[in-house]
């Protein structure tokens, strides 16, 4: 036989830990009592916060429906305004007619109203609100003078009515030069 020492097979009792050995905590697996109490305290605090939040959510739940209703109304008013119906009566008529539709279009009331390129194809109660705007008169299309312009039309210190109106607007905004121009006009006209 050989001179080498033979290794004796280990017994199965030494190789596998016993159930009593598994239940015993080791130093690495133990949590210090202070840390454990701290974690438990944090957990309890979080539970209290969660319960408070749940209570707040229950208090706010009745308002959720009100907010969604108001949001829908706001979206409808915005949609109507985009197609030119800004009058309260027009919006009420459009809303009532839309609600009476058997098949509502996919895009809602906006898509329905935008489908009326020609107001004569719209329902009769809605036509006046969809009518194109009347052409502007020549007076409304005349460009207004620049309010920041400092040039003033004056003859002998007196201002034309148009220039006086413009200077008056500037003076009301606090323009000191405009105040001086009005004073010169009044002196030249004999008012002062």
Do 39 and 126 belong together in one domain? yes
pLDDT in tens, 26-44: 656 677 888 889 999 999 9
Is 55 in the same domain as 113? yes
* Helix H or strand E segment including 154: strand 154-155
- CA–CA separation, 183 vs 192, rounded Å? 8
Closest residue by Cα to residue 127 from 142, 113, 147: 113
What is the Cα–Cα distance from 180 to 188, expressed in whole angstroms?
12
Calculate the dihedral angle through the C-alpha atoms of 167, 173, 174, 176, rounding to the nearest 10 degrees. -20
Residues 99 and 180 reside in one and the same domain = no
Burial class, 166, CB count within 10 angstroms (exposed 0-12 / middle 13-18 / buried 19+): buried
Please report whether residue 9 resides in a domain: no
Name the range with the highest mean pLDDT among 17-31, 43-57, 85-99, 123-137: 43-57
Assess whether 73 and 105 both reside in one domain: yes
Report how far residue 74's alpha carbon sits from residue 87's, in angstroms, rounded to the nearest whole number.
14
Return the SS3 of 7.
Answer: coil
Residue 94 belongs to a domain: yes
Give the Cα separation of 178 and 150 in Å (integer): 9
The reply to whether 40 and 68 lie within a common domain is yes
Q: Dihedral of the CA atoms 168, 169, 175, 176 (nearest 10)?
A: 10
In this prediction, residue 92 carries a pLDDT of 86
119 and 177 assigned to the same domain: no
Show the domain range for 162: 150-189
- pLDDT band for 4, please (50, 70, 90 cuts): low
Q: Which residues pair with 158 in a beta bridge?
A: 155
pLDDT digits (tens, 9 = 90+) for 139-181: 455 555 555 454 455 555 566 778 778 888 888 888 888 878 8
For the chain, how many structural domains are there in total? 2
* Residues 71 and 118 grouped into a single domain: yes
Residue 44: the pLDDT is: 95
């Amino acid at each position: 036989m050989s001179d080498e020492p033979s290794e004796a097979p280990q017994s199965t009792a030494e190789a596998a830990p016993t159930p009593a050995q598994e239940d015993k905590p080791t130093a690495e697996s133990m949590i210090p009592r202070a840390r454990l109490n701290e974690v438990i305290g944090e957990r309890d605090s979080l539970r209290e916060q969660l319960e408070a939040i749940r209570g707040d959510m229950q208090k706010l739940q009745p308002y959720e429906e009100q907010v969604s209703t108001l949001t829908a109304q706001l979206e409808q008013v915005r949609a109507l305004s985009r197609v030119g119906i800004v009058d309260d009566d027009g919006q009420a008529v459009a809303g009532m007619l839309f609600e009476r539709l058997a098949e509502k279009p996919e895009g809602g009331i906006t898509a329905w109203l935008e489908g009326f390129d020609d107001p004569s194809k719209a329902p009769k109660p809605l036509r006046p609100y969809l009518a194109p705007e009347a052409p502007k008169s020549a007076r409304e299309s005349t460009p207004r003078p620049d309010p920041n312009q400092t040039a003033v039309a004056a003859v002998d210190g007196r201002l034309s009515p148009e220039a006086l109106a413009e200077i008056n607007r500037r003076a009301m905004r606090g323009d000191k030069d405009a105040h001086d121009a009005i004073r010169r006009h009044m002196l030249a006209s004999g008012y002062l």
